[in-house]
A and B are shown apart, each in its own frame.
Chain A
Amino acid sequence: MPAHGRIAAAAFRQYSTYRMATAAGIFTNTIFGFIRASIMFAAIGTAGGELGGYTMLQAATYVWLGQALLAPIEAFGTREVSQRVHQGDIAVDLLRPVDLLSLHYAQKLGRAAFLLLARGIPPLVVGALVTGLALPEHPLSYLLGALSLLLAITVAFLADMMVNLAAFWLVETRGLTVVYNATMNLLSGFLIPIVWFPDWLLAIARATPFPSMIQTPIDTLSGRVPPAEALGLIGVQIGWAAVLALAAWAMLRAGTRSLEVQGG
């Protein structure tokens, strides 16, 4: 797949040219990290030092990892593909000799690699210096964490792609994007850990792919979930990746069939 490698590398380079955006993103992620950490500390303090299995240090780790993964996972959604559909530029993508989904996935991986380095590491460094981070006890957690992260990026990419592909049928997808992102931010365990949810909401969350996007990689990376248990969660991630890949592929196929490329 040399073509996909080149595309991923190109996306990496392309994002590395957006220096101001990167600096602004790091600043915002870090500030919000402090805000979120202090809210968590207040809640845990009120609960008497531990809440739903989270100590102060574990909560801080959860917040900083969440802030670090925000950008590579693109938790606030993307609009590129839906815009390309609306403006008809999707025609250019479809005329490439490479499958459209794999093309965009390669781009996503290149982009995520850059965002992980540039936007992920700074909040973790700040967190380690200011609040400290709970490091995993078992070295295997790092390896499984990396795998879980790759799968989280994949699952998030596929779900986001499906929202974007709705543009084949909808004139405007902004409303859908807003609803999707609000749901995703809550049910993925980005705002608060899903184990803090009431049982009924926890059950709903676990029936969706959302925890596979953020809660699972955070728990695996931080070692809060030991490696043996993490394997099961990774299995769930793989399952969701397969289901969503199939769904996105079916959507793209149906979409290109009904496609009336817009504009000249």
Chain B
Amino acid sequence: MTSHPVPSLPTPSDPSAARSPDVESSPALELAQLRRDYVVRAAAPGSRRRRRQRVRAVDEISLRIERGEAVGFVGANGAGKSTTIKMITGILQPTAGSVRVLGRDPVPERRRLAREIGVVFGQRSQLWWDLPLRDSYRILGAMHRLTDRALAARLDRLVEGLDLAGFLDRPVRQLSLGQRMRGEVAAALLHSPALVVLDEPTIGLDMVSKEGLRRFLREDRAERGTTLFLTTHDMGDVERLCDRIVVVASGQVAYDGALAGFRERLGSPRELVLDLAAPRLEALALPEGARTLAIEAEGIRHRIAFSGAELTVPALLTRIGAQAEVQDLSLTEPAVEDLVRRINAGDRPG
């Protein structure tokens, strides 16, 4: 029997690496005036020659993310999210500006950095397609120089947390999308990375699979204090996983702040949908802070917008109840997605 103390979780670091205190204490992510241009060749109208054109995908993005933060990086298609991720992971050279990831320069230190970050591309696979899922973890464990014991301990945790046990011995090509994505997340987390970059991790998944994945990502973050950087089109991902949201539009940061204050900052109203017992074509008299958006179904359905900060739902209902009998009602929270759309449309806060 050996008397070595066995760490419950493998450490993400590579023992052979000399890590300066600077690297240890640096922020997880630091982007400064980051820019990336692409040169595209497009046929100019009326000309047979194709013109070279510079397209700016990322335009002076500055962002600082401390270790342990969970940040949702959202924006419309073409806003520059994927380009930013490629620069963060070191597979794309910035045109100008600087990137530091865990204190390192991603392009020259790409392979070094690969030992400290875990990346999930929702659209791509890092698993071995024709082999049982388990084999991919053996190979990845060897690549990350995990000891057999560390690999076994970590894999046990991932198998339990992501519920992989049922298909660990099945070839990857036979897995359903939901199973494969769980497998992909496990692959990215196998070496216990300090920074986890998720590029649309829940794309194409059903609600149950999404929830399972999000729950485990939260658990793992709570256990290890991981930094999470997430791009997504699914605002549910951001709401369930992140405490900070960064919205990009046209390659620039359009909003950066706590998720909690995001809606209030935009002054975004909540919406109350009422179905009245009897049709009423005239608008209800409403207190300050509320207004009728629409009257539908020949006076049966009234849509009322009100601001959550100024007015409570019971107060509003009391006022309405005095005027008409309410048969049914529903309350919708503003979807973050709509808010992002409003930011993208130029309706910037502040």
A95 to B125, CA, bound (A): 12
Q: Does B144 lie at the interface of the complex (its beta carbon under 8 Å from any beta carbon of A)?
A: yes
Q: Number of residues in B with C-beta < 8 Å to the partner?
A: 32
A98 to B124, CA, bound (A): 18
Contact A94 B91 (CB under 8 A): yes
A10 to B140, CA, bound (A): 11
Q: Does B82 lie at the interface of the complex (its beta carbon under 8 Å from any beta carbon of A)?
A: yes
Q: Does A175 lie at the interface of the complex (its beta carbon under 8 Å from any beta carbon of B)?
A: no
A13 to B171, CA, bound (A): 12
A92 to B136, CA, bound (A): 14
Q: Does A179 lie at the interface of the complex (its beta carbon under 8 Å from any beta carbon of B)?
A: no
A75 to B142, CA, bound (A): 31
Q: Does A195 lie at the interface of the complex (its beta carbon under 8 Å from any beta carbon of B)?
A: no
Contact B91 A261 (CB under 8 A): yes
Partner of A97, one of B92, B111, B121, B123: B111
Contact A260 B131 (CB under 8 A): no
A2 to B115, CA, bound (A): 16
Contact B142 A2 (CB under 8 A): yes
- Most interface-central of B119, B123, B143, B171 (chain A CB within 10 A): B143
Residues of B within 8 A of A260 (CB): 38, 92
Q: Does A89 lie at the interface of the complex (its beta carbon under 8 Å from any beta carbon of B)?
A: yes
- Chain A interface size, as a band, is 20 to 34
A78 to B130, CA, bound (A): 18
Residues of A within 8 A of B126 (CB): 92, 95-96
Q: Among residues 110 to 159 in chain B, which have CB atoms less than 8 Å away from a CB atom of chain A? A: 110-112, 114-115, 119, 121, 123-126, 128, 130-131, 135, 138-139, 142-145
Given contacts A6-B139, A91-B124, contact A99 B92 (CB under 8 A): no
Q: Does B89 lie at the interface of the complex (its beta carbon under 8 Å from any beta carbon of A)?
A: yes
Q: Which 5 A-B pairs have the closest CB atoms?
A: A3-B142, A97-B114, A3-B143, A6-B142, A14-B130
- B-side residues, CB < 8 A to A, are 38, 82, 86, 89-93, 110-112, 114-115, 119, 121, 123-126, 128, 130-131, 135, 138-139, 142-145, 171, 199-200
